[in-house]
Amino acid sequence: MGAVEPQVVVTDAPSPVTDGFHLVIDALKLNGIDTIFGLPGIPITDLTRKAQAAGLRVISFRHEQNAGNAAAIAGFMTQKPGICLTVSAPGFLNGLTALANATTNCFPMILISGSSEREIVDLQQGDYEEMDQLAIAKPLAKAAFRVLHAEDIGVGVARAIRAAVSGRPGGVYLDLPAKLFAQSMDAEAGRKSLIKVVDPAPRQIPAEDAVQRALELLKSAKRPLILLGKGAAYAQADADIRALIERTGIPYLPMSMAKGLLPDTHEQSAAAARSFVLPEADVVMLVGARLNWLLSQGKGKTWGGKDAKAWGAQKFIQIDISPQEMDSNVRIEAPLVGDIGSCVSALLTAIKAAGTHWAKPPAEWLSAIAERKGKNLAKMAETLARDPAPMNFHSALNVVRDIIKANPEAILVNEGANALDFTRSIVDMYRPRKRLDVGTWGIMGIGMGFAVAAAVVSGQPVIAIEGDSAFGFSGMEVETICRYNLPVCVVIFNNNGVYGGTDVNPTGGPDVAPTVFVKGARYDKLMEAFGGIGVHVTKPAELRQAMEAAIRSGKPTLINAVIDETAGTESGRITSLNPTAKKK
Ligand code: ADP
Ligand code: TZD
């Protein structure tokens, strides 16, 4: 991008001047930022207006958390920091959950919040929305900065961008006190103070000996496995990752948001044999995936250990940009530190150099996996073919599975408990970065923010599969979806409550049980309230028709899909973390 001319504010001053508002906007534009997700109010209302006037796309939300989630996932999809703009104290706090979630998930975003007068905040003299926001944001962000002077805006924005996208990506907080916006300075000096960040996320080339160590270990394996995480999806090294997997012939497992990096129908996918391959594998190569709770910390029975704490028999290779990730749970025999693109390409080069010496994994390993996969897929096909009344998760998701297969460019947003776990295992993805979900924390509330951003960033159809509880956290953004006329189809798996709606109040008192919602709620009418299309369905055939129509029309659609309230389990698949969960 070429240099951006600061917008000149005409005043009586002898030479043209610019101000804080325009310097912030110009600094963002100079760095290729074209969209701001936010919610206006004091002191940033004019910033949103002026940003729009300057050609930025400003997407206004109904709650800052949703704007923050939109920014975070835009960052994941584009490798550019997503920008979320909020007002001071309460607006800032509302955005903070999204900032912390972005940092946890390694999504690059910048939360920019207006703030009150420093002098009054620091002496605690009682300003409008007084709060020491910088101090509060620090532990939740990868980095946090405050800009006090207009001439420092260029540096502040540049530092925020670098912090968000370099190394392990994360959430960054940028504090802009109200007074900054009105500060004026000479336009030419202002222009010169801005920084166009050169190479914001520099490649990190792995050391040659680390590449060799990893390859030797991989070669020695009798039962190798590659585990792809959302870092691998983020890295946009899709062709090389596929080439590495196909060249080595090693079976792979995608973590939730790495689904589609290779099509889930790929013959080397071991997803349908997950519980077999994890404990059986002897060498596991992690590519942009952490051994956190989602992988049982690399230990315990999942990995063939004899009890919850015992290590299994695996040796690990880990490709990650963060050196500190190594050994965080178990020993990493072959750490390969660098960016995934560079690491995978170095591995490929070394394998090519080995020529015919590279042998595919032993046939017994591959056939054992194929056998498990075959059995599990056949069992799944049988379950999906059933058509029970009322509709359950499986019969509804059989439809969603077909719709995604027919529309592989569509983006799937997914949250809930059972609605999440069943969708992840039943709905195949065919392209990279098309599955966006609750991520590392299993956070509810990302749904509509992710859906808006996905549609805005990609222009592709978005399908959001939502538990009825999950939807409630961000449901008001259906107005946003209608306002911007986005091609989003929200499908609510309505089973009358958190998990399901079957609990009863044991006291017999007038309150329903804590997990129960209004029975038979019509979420479809919410969408109709704002001019979108609402559909109420109780059968798979109706769901199919409604989803096909939504994709065809591209109109904001909400389908209230009634699901058997006794289907599924409490906490979905993570009942192990909920010792008191009732098994159904
Ligand atoms: P998942 O939840 O899918 O298992 P995680 O969020 O746990 O994935 O892990 C993602 C990992 O990817 C993080 O450790 C992060 O440091 C790493 N990562 C992110 N981007 C890159 C990149 N470009 N190159 C290398 N590693 C990356
Ligand atoms: N609050 C937040 C922010 N995140 C959470 N994960 C939870 C609460 C706890 N929680 C879950 O982990 S899943 C879930 C909650 C409230 C909702 C499950 O109900 P649902 O899904 O209707 O969305 P199913 O498909 O009916 O199980």
Provide the CATH number for the domain around residue 271. Answer: 3.40.50.1220
**35 band by pLDDT with thresholds 50, 70 and 90:** very high
Indicate the residue among 370, 395, 413 that finishes a domain: 370
Mutate to test the pocket of ligand 2, among 293, 469, 473 (most ligand atoms within 8 A of CB): 469
The per-residue pLDDT of the chain, averaged, comes to 95
Displacement of CA 159 from its chain's centroid (Å): 23
Whether 272 is in a domain gets the answer: yes
Per-residue model confidence (pLDDT) at position 355 = 74
Measured CA to CA, the distance from residue 371 to residue 365 in angstroms comes to 10
490 touches ligand 1 (CB under 6 Å): no
Q: pLDDT tens-digit profile of 131-142?
A: 999 999 999 999
The backbone torsions φ and ψ at residue 228, rounded to the nearest 5 degrees and listed phi first, read -95, 125
Q: Which of 101-110, 183-192, 570-579 has the lowest mean pLDDT?
A: 570-579
Spacing, Cα 256 to ligand 1 middle (Å): 13
Are 131 and 185 part of one and the same domain? yes
Are 165 and 218 part of one and the same domain? no
Whether 380 is in a domain gets the answer: no
Are 392 and 541 part of one and the same domain? yes
One-letter amino acid at 354 equals: A
Q: pLDDT tens-digit profile of 489-538?
A: 999 999 999 999 999 999 999 999 999 999 999 999 999 999 999 999 99
Spacing, Cα 374 to ligand 1 middle (Å): 30
Whether 6 is in a domain gets the answer: no
Are 449 and 359 part of one and the same domain? no
Domain count, the chain: 3
Q: pLDDT tens-digit profile of 145-181?
A: 999 999 999 999 999 999 999 999 999 999 999 999 9
What Å distances lie between residue 537 and 459, 527, 559, CA to CA? 27, 15, 7
Whether 582 is in a domain gets the answer: no
Are 357 and 399 part of one and the same domain? no
Are 456 and 509 part of one and the same domain? yes
Whether 567 is in a domain gets the answer: yes
- Of the bound ligands, which one is closest to the alpha carbon of residue 335? 1
Indicate the residue among 166, 193, 220 that finishes a domain: 193
The backbone torsions φ and ψ at residue 233, rounded to the nearest 5 degrees and listed phi first, read -70, -45
Spacing, Cα 450 to ligand 1 middle (Å): 19
289 touches ligand 1 (CB under 6 Å): yes
Are 514 and 435 part of one and the same domain? yes
Measured CA to CA, the distance from residue 571 to residue 256 in angstroms comes to 17
Domain with 366 in it: 208-370
With a threshold of 0.95, does the pTM exceed it? yes
Are 57 and 175 part of one and the same domain? yes
Are 150 and 218 part of one and the same domain? no
Are 461 and 346 part of one and the same domain? no
**Eight-class DSSP state of 79:** S
Spacing, Cα 48 to ligand 1 middle (Å): 33
Q: pLDDT tens-digit profile of 38-97?
A: 999 999 999 999 999 999 999 999 999 999 999 999 999 999 999 999 999 999 999 999
Whether 526 is in a domain gets the answer: yes
Q: Which residues line ligand 2 (CB under 6 A)?
A: 416-419, 442-445, 467-470, 493, 495, 498-500, 568, 572
Rounded to 10 degrees, the C-alpha dihedral 359/226/277/248 comes to: -20
Per-residue model confidence (pLDDT) at position 582 = 58
168 touches ligand 1 (CB under 6 Å): yes
Indicate the residue among 167, 193, 219 that finishes a domain: 193
Spacing, Cα 289 to ligand 1 middle (Å): 5
Whether 202 is in a domain gets the answer: no
Whether 375 is in a domain gets the answer: no
Q: What is the domain-level CATH number for residue 455?
A: 3.40.50.970
Are 413 and 294 part of one and the same domain? no
Buried b (16+ CB within 10 A) or exposed e, 515-550: ebbeeebebbebbeebebbbbbbebbebbbebbbeb
Q: pLDDT tens-digit profile of 188-241?
A: 999 999 999 999 999 999 999 999 999 999 999 999 999 999 999 999 999 999
Per-residue model confidence (pLDDT) at position 4 = 62
User: Helix 540-553 crosses helix 393-406 at what angle (to 10 degrees)?
Assistant: 30
- Of the bound ligands, which one is closest to the alpha carbon of residue 415? 2
Per-residue model confidence (pLDDT) at position 8 = 62
